[in-house]
Chains A and B, each alone.
Chain A
Amino acid sequence: MVIFNKIHLTAITLLFFGTILNILPFSEALVSKTPPILLLILIYLSLAFPNQINLTYAFISGLIMDILMITPLGYNALCYTITIYLILLYYPQIRLQSNWNKMFSLLIILMPYFFISTVVNSMLNIEYNILDVCISVFISILIWPGLFGMLRFIRQKYTS
């Protein structure tokens, strides 16, 4: 029971920091290329605790991001939910992979996220730049090993 609470407390704290990092101001040139940090943290948490941190967390985090980033309600919620569903389908395989393979898996898992966001952008007539989207995916993959290590360190320190 204590561990159960610790997991949720750590997850909520990490997601709060992820939310702040997601809306941190960047220069105009970088703003559309920033990686979806909150989603990356959600991916890590659902890999580590698939029974506790799953679709409900993804959906609620998405809704909060929609409100904070002034996007139509449901936009991020939809993208996050589908991405975390994919993680829940394949987490036993991903967990066993090496860091390099994990980067490749992340690329495959983030593809539907960016594909869905592109489809929703087109449906809602929101202007977007496909090159920026690709750069964002690339940066997400590059920072993944570092972020993974840092999150694992925090998880081991605060949930065990």
Chain B
Amino acid sequence: MKNNLHFRQSHIISIKLILFLVISISFLLIDKNLELSNKIRNNSSYLIKPIYSTAEAPLKIFNKLSIYIDSMQDLIKKNKILEKKVFIQSGIIQKIPLLKEENKRLRKLLNSSESMADSKIIIAELIKVNLSPFSNKIVIDKGEKNNLSLGQTVIDSLGLIGQVSEVNKDFSIVTLITDPGHALLAVNTRTEKRVMVSGTGDNRYLKAEYVSLNEDVIEGDILITSGLDNIFPEGYLIGVISKINKKINKDFMEVDVRPSSSLSTNQEVMILW
């Protein structure tokens, strides 16, 4: 009787195993581009947001505690540094109206429209949760409630971060420019030539693709968004060419680009309209 029971139990487990394996593999095949899971996330965002918030809570408490623990002197030091930064940046900002006017004048001369019109910006905080280490995605605390839409550009104070790839009610998911499935059209500021820049899966570098062996590219060249891909507005900093590898037996150069934005240490990001 006991043996029979054991046999029945193992029989059920085998059936369950086959069933779950079939379902898992079917899901994997259907959800390769995360479309199905996006739908589920969207419909259950009211359940997911509290889980994310709970996971993030210890870090938030730790950050708040460290602020309290910071000594007065440290704060004075930090304040002085920040004051200096603000002073320098306000000096730089003084030039902006002049540069705007100059830009307008030059555009008029070229008969082109104003592409760098004042765009609306909102600041979003990162929900710091441990996503799949290889996903190259981040979660931000703004969603449908803040009128976010798919494809919006996300930047930080140093450069381009990525684009909004999934919008839920209370939070959104941003695909970083380092995602292996992500590519955008950049412009080399020195030569004004267009370059295709794609992600590598590694936060530390991007790759400039299809750069022919005789093209004028040097280390230190700055790449900015071209605005030609109809996703990212023109003129935002992508990164700096950090390494060039020419191989004679290959048609194109291997060009590494170091992203200018601080992709891994950000606390806040800006979303552009």
Contacts and interface: CB of A to CB of B under 8 A. Distances in A.
Interface of A: 19-20, 22-26, 28, 31-32, 34, 51, 54-56, 58-59, 62, 66-75, 77-78, 81-82, 85, 88, 120-121, 123-128, 132
A125 B112 CA distance: 42
Interface in B9-47: 9, 13, 16-17, 20-21, 23-28, 30-32, 34, 36-37, 40-41, 44
B24 A81 contact: yes
B59 interface: yes
Contacts of B20: 55, 58-59, 77, 81
A72 B264 CA distance: 23
Contact of B55 (A23, A74, A78, A132): A23
A71 B132 contact: yes
Contacts of A58: 20
Nearest to B175: A70
B269 to A, nearest CB: 16
Interface residues of B, number: 49
9 cross-chain pairs, A with B, having the tightest CB-CB distances, nearest first: A127-B201, A74-B27, A32-B133, A78-B24, A25-B128, A74-B24, A74-B28, A28-B264, A73-B31
B41 A67 contact: yes
A28 to B, nearest CB: 4
Given A28-B203, A62-B24, A77-B27, A70 B16 contact: no
Interface of B: 9, 13, 16-17, 20-21, 23-28, 30-32, 34, 36-37, 40-41, 44, 48, 51-52, 54-56, 58-59, 128-137, 139, 173, 180-181, 200-203, 264-265
Contacts of A82: 17, 21
A132 B133 contact: yes
21 contacts: A23-B51, A23-B131, A24-B59, A28-B203, A55-B20, A67-B40, A67-B44, A69-B131, A69-B132, A70-B132, A72-B27, A73-B27, A73-B36, A74-B24, A74-B25, A81-B17, A82-B17, A85-B13, A124-B32, A126-B201, A127-B200
Contacts of B17: 55, 81-82, 85
